A and B are shown apart, each in its own frame.
Chain A
Amino acid sequence: MGSPPNFRIDTLEGDSGTTIKLGGELDSASCDELVMRFEEAISTVGRRELVIDLGEVTFIDSSGMRAIIMIERRAGEHGVALTLTRPPAGVTELLQTTGIADRVVLTPSAEDFSPLEPFVERIDITLVRAPDAPARARAELRQAIAGRLSEQDGATATLLTSELVTNAVIHPGLFVGGSVGLRITLFGNRIRVEVTDGGAGFDVATLPPARPGEAGGHGLFVVDGLSSRWGTTRRGGGAGEAFCVWFELDAGLQGEAGDQAAQFSTPSRSQQYSSRHSLASSMHRASESQGSTVSNA
């Protein structure tokens, strides 16, 4: 009996503990194998640290999640510290949704800046790429944050959103048409806005410096100056590839949602963000092909 074809598992013995490296799909066909490897690992005398590396995992279903929860339980019973590392974005969301993310040490992969915190609400809007798109985006944003952000934070978020949507409408081509995707995600202590279009995009490192007196080109400098962090990323592949510019603004949510979100925040989460970078400094380093991030935290 081998593992299912779309599943890989390796146990690596290190000095202080064991790493179980997973790849492919963790589902009802493969989860027993994981539990078995785990039991083998904790039966080794003196092992007090266990790492499950999720870096290559493409899918986890409910059976797979049950296996992870069972491992978390058993690790607790045996006094073994369990760390889940490098979860891809989709897996991270699943770990958050089920609540396991709050009960294990979760360390992100170096290149992955997907937030390791559950969102309160995520809003997806498709805007027609037309001159009134920035105005509509501002309206949607105001509606989304109504009563949830302070007046100043709200004004900043509205301005930055407007700038990104304006760029998306103006830059990808000379003609008007198509659509611009706007995603607003509210977290307990910050807001993230992503603007997606089908354009060629740009590279942070190759942006020309803004020239005083010219109408265009100020947008990103405004974003760079006022956001807590921002960046670019590409979504999808092939013909459906989209270019995404995002920013985040650290701002405590107010009201009911904020209170609840606070209950699920753990101090460890703040560790994920890298040290401060300015746009100017980041322009000097080559940006990665998958995307780049500028942090003003």
Chain B
Amino acid sequence: MRPETATAILEIAGNAFVTLDAHGRVLEWNRRAAELFGYSRDEAFGRDLAELIVPSRYRERHRDGLRRAAAASESDRITARLIVEAVRRDGRELPVEVSLTVVRDGIEPSFHAWIQDVSERTQLLRELEAQLRGRDPGFGQILDALAEAVTIRDPHHHILYANRAAFESMGFSSLEEMQRRPPHAIFADYIVHDEHGHELTMDSIPSVRLLAGERAEPLLLRTISRSTGELRWQLLKSAPLHGEDGQPVAAVTVIEDVTRERTADLHDRFLARASEILMSSLDYQETLRNVAWLAVPEIADWCAVDLVDDRGSRQRVAVAHHDTSKLKLAEDARRFEPDDLDPDRGVGRILRTGESELYREIPDDVLARAAVNDEHLTLLRSIGFRSVLLVPLRARGRTFGVMTLVTAESMRRFDEVDKEFAEQVAGRAAIAVDNARLATSRRETADTLQRSLLPDIVPRIAGWDVATLYRAARAAEEVEVGGDFYDFYETDDGWIVLLGDVTGKGVEAAALTSLVRHGARFLSKYEQSPSQILARLNEALSEQPGLWLCTAVCVRLEGERAVIASAGHPGPLIVRDDGRVREIGAIGPILGAWMGEPSVERGVPIAANETLFLYTDGVVDTLGEHERFGTERLKRLLSERAGEPPARILASLEAGLDRFQVGRQADDTAALALRPVAVSERVHGDAAQSAEASRKLPVT
């Protein structure tokens, strides 16, 4: 385009056009500019624009702006659209909208500006403002009566109007007071996030977007006042007011406070999720950790859980902060805290009183008093405590822990609603911990009982190589005390081996199992006949109230033979090294069912190349994918392993059962493998002595 064409276009343009040099002197001044401001092109040319049309009170700001724009680096292409006051030759001021571009094609930059008279639009706003603030009962008073906050903002970032709910909610006593504070400054008084937790700038506010000519959807804001720490949820909806030229001249915003609804919703969701976590596992330390992590950052910036045991020693089971790099702070601070809790302060006090406490504000002198030394104080300060909530974990009248919630960098402050909510969370956590502890205690009892059913060590039996296998039944996560047991008793006639299974599970079954096991130990002092031992046990069980049944196999090991008595028990197997399996048939009924049974026992030779195998029904009842393990499969496995040492055979059996088994183990499994040791390998010397010595050996 030739220069004269450009000039011609500028002359007929509807808006004023002005070009300035780097120092603000007028280089171009079209006809409309002359009309608008009252200076001809010749009069304006070369003059400082500031002197010409900028009201004296804005001149410095104008020159500053030009200087900054001129100094900006070349890559910054500056375009601006602003509404400012200008002054005409006749001294009358008028609002104008300036669209400014900086051009850098010469040595120095030049400025080009379109200037539009917007006094009509502005007049409209003034009228609106006057109407809203008018002394006559009118629109303004109606708006003041609204619970929702209403603001009207003009394109100059000026709060044209705010109703009572609006200015009061922002901490102002009047509209005038609010108007004296620039909107940017008001915005900066808050930490503002959207509902997804992303921090927002003022440009995202619907009214600002509308006035910039963008679309503006309703926006949900989470604001925290930097001064009061108050958290609020607000729903902003804006609509534009248009001038006669169709341009937006103002934006009306209705601000609905939805804090109560949002908080209730958040709390409900949190409680539901927390309950789910708490019920997910009996590992209460893990679940507490998960709940603590769930709490940050929505509920608090920090969440810690401390538990105390019966002896009063404290254990921190969880510390959570959404920025994991901060966790070290808590860890470091914890090191300064004494293990003996002060019953009048902090966690110690909560444990003593069982009452939760809310510290809205943590002034520095509180930190100074809490700190044990300067280093500790520095650490505490660096955490930046804002507000602290201490809530007891209480169940069945006992306080056994404290949940600590802290706000810091989020600036928010806890209130009574937070306290109530934290008490709800802690209440649920406490019940979960209590239940888990009961279960743990039951499990420990079960473990202890289970151990009491088996000998601590397997004695060394002269002339025999002995191996044992025990697989405890599992119900869900717990070991269930089962009734399988075995034991070894030494008598004058040789060793007695007893293996059995008391029907039933749980503590009662364990007690009966103990009765059988220790009863047999006692009996073996006076009675060396396996069938007689079983007959006496039958009498003892039959005397118990209720129906207590026990299957058992009792074997007296002699030189090269075993005297076997069995009571309702799976038959012992004798496996020869070439794979032949002999199953010794049932020779007596189950114990505890019928009195006065004939007692029978059988001497069975066991050669040096044979292994005696005793087992409980847990082995053959083990459930696989399609069927139970069964006697045939057991025999095949033993036959394939024939000739191997007893410990190897049982290891193969255990591996075989593990492979075969599907799901949890439903029943206990006990098995013994006993093999005569060749004469040359036999332990020489007194059997009793060697057995005594072997008892002192650690379990291998």
Contact = CB atoms under 8 A, between A and B. Distances in A.
A123 B582 contact: yes
Interface string B10-34: 0000000000000000000000000
B560 to A, nearest CB: 16
B179 interface: no
A218 interface: no
B590 interface: yes
B547 A70 contact: yes
Contacts of B635: 124
Interface string B592-631: 0110011010110000000000000100010000001000
B100 interface: no
B580 A69 contact: no
B546 to A, nearest CB: 10
Interface in A68-105: 69-70, 73, 96-100, 102-103
B570 A97 contact: yes
A6 to B, nearest CB: 10
B229 interface: no
Say which size band chain A's interface belongs to: 20 to 34
Contacts of B570: 97
Interface in B513-570: 547, 549, 551, 568-570
Given A97-B569, A125-B579, A256-B603, A63 B585 contact: no
A118 B549 contact: no
B580 A123 contact: yes
A10 interface: no
Most B CB contacts (10 A, CB to CB) among A59, A97, A100, A260 go to A97
Contacts of A186: 585
Contact of B579 (A63, A97, A119, A126): A126
A185 B603 CA distance: 18
A278 interface: no
Contacts of A73: 547, 593
Interface in A113-154: 118-126, 140
Given A62-B551, A66-B549, A121 B628 contact: no
Contacts, number: 95
A248 to B, nearest CB: 16
A122 B583 CA distance: 5
Contacts of A96: 586
B582 to A, nearest CB: 5
Interface in A247-297: 256-257, 260, 263-264
A65 interface: yes
Contact of A118 (B501, B585, B598, B603): B585
Contact of A102 (B504, B547, B589, B667): B589
Interface string A1-31: 0000000000000000000000000001000
A62 B547 contact: no
A124 to B, nearest CB: 5
Interface in A221-269: 256-257, 260, 263-264
Given A98-B551, A120-B585, A260-B587, A69 B598 contact: no
Nearest to B582: A123
Given A61-B617, A62-B617, A70-B547, A99 B602 contact: no
Contacts of B143: none
Contact of A121 (B549, B585, B598): B585
Contacts of A257: 602
Interface string A42-69: 0000000000000000010111011001
Interface string B307-350: 00000000000000000000000000000000000000000000
B581 A123 contact: yes
A123 B598 CA distance: 26
A69 B549 contact: yes
B585 A119 contact: yes
B534 to A, nearest CB: 12
A260 B600 contact: yes
Most B CB contacts (10 A, CB to CB) among A98, A125, A256 go to A98
B503 interface: yes
B504 A63 contact: yes
A125 B501 CA distance: 29
Contacts of A97: 551, 568-571, 586
B507 interface: no
A97 B568 CA distance: 5
Nearest to B550: A62
B628 A124 contact: no
Contacts of A63: 503-504
B584 interface: yes
Interface string A157-187: 0000000000000000000000000000010
Contacts of B602: 256-257, 260
B584 A121 contact: yes
A100 to B, nearest CB: 8
B646 interface: no
Nearest to B546: A70
25 contacts: A28-B505, A61-B667, A62-B503, A62-B551, A63-B503, A65-B590, A66-B547, A73-B593, A97-B551, A97-B568, A97-B570, A97-B586, A98-B568, A99-B568, A100-B593, A118-B585, A123-B582, A123-B583, A124-B580, A124-B581, A124-B635, A186-B585, A257-B602, A263-B600, A264-B587
> Top 9 closest A-B pairs, CB basis?
A99-B589, A98-B568, A119-B585, A97-B586, A122-B583, A98-B590, A124-B581, A118-B586, A260-B600
